[in-house]
Amino acid sequence: MTTTARAYAATSATEPLIATTIERRDVGPRDVLIDIAYSGVCHSDIHTVRGEWGPITYPQVVGHEIVGTVSEVGADVTRYAVGDRVGVGCMVNSCRECVNCLAGMENYCLKGNTQTYTSIDRDGTVTQGGYSTHVVVTEDFVLRVPESIPFEAAAPLLCAGITTYSPLAHWNAGPGTKVAVVGMGGLGHLAVKIAHAMGAEVTVLSQSLSKQDDGLRFGADHYYATSDATTFDTLANTFDLVVNTVSAPVDIQAYLSLLRLDGTIVNVGAPAEPLPVSVFALMGNRRSFAASGIGSISETQEMLDFCAEHNISPEIELIAAADINAAYERVLTSDVRYRFVIDASTI
């Protein structure tokens, strides 16, 4: 029996999101039904509903930073029980057969993982995201949210948190390493907190110094404005790792010049157009240019547990669902410190 859920949906690329209802699939043997408590607002949501990443089918509900409480479990579910505090991030399934899935790296599924919204689900319908009161997800793609993380603040960890945690962990941010975080938005402010907790020396590279006090409070050791050209001279050949959270095209050569020997710049956002990369800039200091996409399910759980252990919470602004369209406009002007989260009880 399907579940009727309330939701906020886009009906076209140009119109505001509106309140509606959607049907969630039957709770299958391995599924859990989640009563959504909070849903984070990611810039990706806006790109998607506005068709900026390609045409989509409307109506479409977005949102992939979901926390809630399990309210029903299928007959074969073993990991979760009614009442559990859980989360769902950017993906809700994968092929489970390719070499990456078999290695537990579902986020790099070679057939493309099933994203939380706009993907074709196993029942043939288009997946619908978290701006909603309920969602049904196979237990294998459900995370456990530690009790010590405030529920509403946990939501952004499911995308912004894992997206920054994964490259920091993979490229060994830690004691003795120098990490730069480019951009102080939803992803960047979490990258600062996580990298600091990992023990790295953290530098923020932001367009201006307007968020400097926040950055230092979140754990940054240094804070520079990229609008100041001397920044790039001052910091030349400095960093082991630069995590670029800015999706818009940047002057990648300028950031490459900041890497010391064997340093890596990793993009966690992707501009639509290719970036021109000078091989000479890579060859100096044997630098690498890489990109990272969210994280695996096991790594997402590891991240949540890490955040609980280190008292890391995103900085959020809680909004009612009816405010979502205004919130979108504020995201587009970077007028949010640092993540909007929808109170699902208002949907």
Cβ burial of 202 (10 Å; 0-12, 13-18, 19+) is buried
Which neighbouring-strand residues pair with 301? none
Is 280 a residue that touches a copy of itself (CB under 8 A)? yes
Pick the closer one to a copy of itself by CB: 114 or 292.
Answer: 292
Q: Which of 229, 277, 320, 332 binds a copy of itself (CB under 8 A)?
A: 277
Do 122 and 138 contact (CB within 8 A), yes or no? no
Pick the closer one to a copy of itself by CB: 11 or 253.
Answer: 253
Is 298 a residue that touches a copy of itself (CB under 8 A)? no
Do 80 and 70 contact (CB within 8 A), yes or no? yes
Is 28 a residue that touches a copy of itself (CB under 8 A)? no
Min separation Cβ 159 and a copy of itself, Å: 14
Pick the closer one to a copy of itself by CB: 120 or 261.
Answer: 261
Is 138 a residue that touches a copy of itself (CB under 8 A)? no
Binding mask 32-71 for a copy of itself (x = CB under 8 A): ----------------------------------------
Min separation Cβ 184 and a copy of itself, Å: 20
Pick the closer one to a copy of itself by CB: 164 or 264.
Answer: 264
Chain centroid, CA 7 distance in Å: 21
Is 290 a residue that touches a copy of itself (CB under 8 A)? yes
Is 102 a residue that touches a copy of itself (CB under 8 A)? no
Cβ burial of 285 (10 Å; 0-12, 13-18, 19+) is middle
Is 81 a residue that touches a copy of itself (CB under 8 A)? no
Q: Which of 49, 70, 73, 105 binds a copy of itself (CB under 8 A)?
A: 105
Is 278 a residue that touches a copy of itself (CB under 8 A)? yes
- Segment contacting a copy of itself by CB under 8 A, of 7-15, 38-46, 87-95, 273-281: 273-281
Is 237 a residue that touches a copy of itself (CB under 8 A)? yes
CA atoms within 13 A on the CB side of 237: 5
Do 177 and 201 contact (CB within 8 A), yes or no? yes
The bridge status of strand 239-244 relative to strand 178-182 is parallel
3-class DSSP assignment, residue 267: strand
Q: Residue 44: in which H helix or E strand, if any?
A: helix 43-49
Min separation Cβ 51 and a copy of itself, Å: 17
Rounded CA separation 177/179 (Å)? 6
Min separation Cβ 112 and a copy of itself, Å: 9
How far is CA 199 from each of CA 96, 148, 175, 193, 287, rounded to the nearest angstrom? Answer: 34, 21, 5, 10, 23
Do 158 and 90 contact (CB within 8 A), yes or no? yes
Residue 217 φ then ψ, to 5° = -65, -35
Is 172 a residue that touches a copy of itself (CB under 8 A)? no
Is 1 a residue that touches a copy of itself (CB under 8 A)? no
Min separation Cβ 328 and a copy of itself, Å: 24
CA atoms within 13 A on the CB side of 244: 24
- Please give the residue ranges that form the binding site for a copy of itself (CB under 8 A): 99-100, 103, 105, 108, 110, 170, 237, 253, 260-261, 264, 267, 269-271, 274-280, 282-293
